[in-house]
Amino acid sequence: QNKKTGLGKIRYEKKRISAKDKVYLLFAGKI
């Protein structure tokens, strides 16, 4: 019952993302 959907897992991971990774993802998203 604790199965996560793909989107749910992404949201969960985003909450745990470090500031450094956040900047990297922002940069990667602009490419």
Which pLDDT value is given to residue 2? 53
Beta carbons of 12 and 4 less than 8 angstroms apart:
yes
Rounded-to-integer distance, Cα 19 and Cα 21, Å = 5
Which pLDDT value is given to residue 6? 65
Which pLDDT value is given to residue 20? 81
DSSP string, the chain: --PPPHHHHHHHHHHT--HHHHHHHHHHHT-
Lowest mean per-residue pLDDT among 5-9, 19-23, 24-28: 5-9
Q: When comparing pLDDT for 31 and 20, which is higher?
A: 20
Instruction: Reply yes or no on whether the pLDDT at 23 is more than 70.
Output: yes
Handedness of CA 21, 13, 5, 7 (dihedral sign): negative
pLDDT, tens digit (0-9, with 9 covering 90-100), for 1-20 = 456 566 666 666 666 777 78
